[in-house]
Amino acid sequence: MKFLGAKEKGEIAIFGAPHDSTTCFRGGARFGPYGIRLFSQNLEEYSPNLKKSLKELQFQDLGDLELPVEPSKAIEEIYKFVKGINIPVALGGEHSITYPIVKALKERHKELTVVHFDAHADLREEYLGTPYSHACVMKRVLELGVRLIQVGIRSGTEKEWEIIKENPNITYLKEVKELPDLLKEVKTPAYFTVDIDYFDPAFAPGTGTPEHCGESPVEFFKAVYKLPPVKVVGFDVVEVSPPYDPSGITQALGAKIVRELLLKFWG
């Protein structure tokens, strides 16, 4: 099954990264790529808010990668794959998949801004014996020398909050409505990563580590539609866990995020 509207060719390439071996609470994100694609079939190709359609957008869906369970090996496989495509759009899978994508893009673009939507800071040095845990992904991303904009973070260790406060390469936004004005100042290429637990569990219960007091899809999309022109070189949607999403609302939200970002950035 391919994502709604996918063509046979295209510079933009969707792919699934069904990896969740470092999930620290509830597993199942490895089924996320299938769930997002499935619920994309319930969408229209046309976005009434953007007045654009996937019919006019040239993009392909390359299917799912076959990934090893061992975290460092999975990361290496994703990195090698992304080096061979132009504009990656990744369906997770856990959040650790973002690091190898950003690593490949940072080698391609001398400067890069990563816009990170999440409930969790993901700035641990290591977690449960691996530096490649989904709880460490933004620490690894920072080590690549990117600028990091974190949106909606509301959970982290005391040490992680100190890093957010003290690291000059991190900009913290409590609310997404602040993002459009901030991005007016960004002159570098940008990569967007959306952990579905950024949203309040009332709107996205199907995830491994739900955290209350998040924002709503309405607030998110309002801000997305107001984003200024930025050179976006890829994005991902991660941590959708279908086993904890019996009604499908999280998978449906993931699919709509993919459609709207495709059309907003490249439509």
225-263 pLDDT, tens digit per residue, is: 999 999 999 999 999 999 999 999 999 999 999 999 999
Using DSSP, state whether 77 is helix, strand or coil.
helix
User: What's the whole-number mean pLDDT along residues 26-44?
Assistant: 97
Q: Specify the pTM.
A: 0.98
Sign of the alpha-carbon torsion through 145, 135, 70, 130: positive
User: What's the whole-number mean pLDDT along residues 123-135?
Assistant: 94
**Helix, strand, coil share of the chain (percent; to 5):** 35, 20, 45
Asked if residue 39 has pLDDT above 90, the reply is yes
In a domain, 187, yes or no: yes
In a domain, 3, yes or no: no
Dmax over Cα atoms in the chain, in whole Å? 48
> What pLDDT shows up at residue 122?
98
In a domain, 118, yes or no: yes
How far are the Cα atoms of 72, 82, 117, 262 from residue 220, in angstroms, in the given order? 32, 27, 10, 15
Give the span between the Cα atoms of 132 and 126, in whole angstroms.
Answer: 7
Give the span between the Cα atoms of 222 and 203, in whole angstroms.
Answer: 16
> What pLDDT shows up at residue 24?
82
The CATH number of the domain holding residue 237 is 3.40.800.10
137-193 pLDDT, tens digit per residue, is: 999 999 999 999 999 999 999 999 999 999 999 999 999 999 999 999 999 999 999
In a domain, 36, yes or no: yes
Give the length of the chain. 267
Give the span between the Cα atoms of 125 and 20, in whole angstroms.
Answer: 19
User: What's the whole-number mean pLDDT along residues 47-74?
Assistant: 97
Give the span between the Cα atoms of 58 and 47, in whole angstroms.
Answer: 16
In a domain, 162, yes or no: yes
The chain-wide mean pLDDT, for the chain, equals: 97
Domain extent for 45: 12-266
Give the span between the Cα atoms of 246 and 48, in whole angstroms.
Answer: 28
According to DSSP, residue 228 is labeled P
In a domain, 132, yes or no: yes
Closest CA to 34 of 250, 235, 251, 236: 251
Give the span between the Cα atoms of 119 and 95, in whole angstroms.
Answer: 12
Using DSSP, state whether 195 is helix, strand or coil.
strand
Judged by average pLDDT, the poorest of 19-28, 41-50, 118-127, 197-206 is 19-28
In a domain, 82, yes or no: yes
Closest CA to 86 of 267, 253, 232, 220: 232
In a domain, 5, yes or no: no
Residue 172 half-sphere exposure toward CB, CA atoms < 13 A: 17
Using DSSP, state whether 192 is helix, strand or coil.
strand
Token representation of residue 51: 């007045």
Q: Are the C-beta atoms of 151 and 179 separated by less than 8 Å? A: yes
> What pLDDT shows up at residue 196?
98
Give the span between the Cα atoms of 119 and 97, in whole angstroms.
Answer: 17
Please give the tally of structural domains in the chain: 1
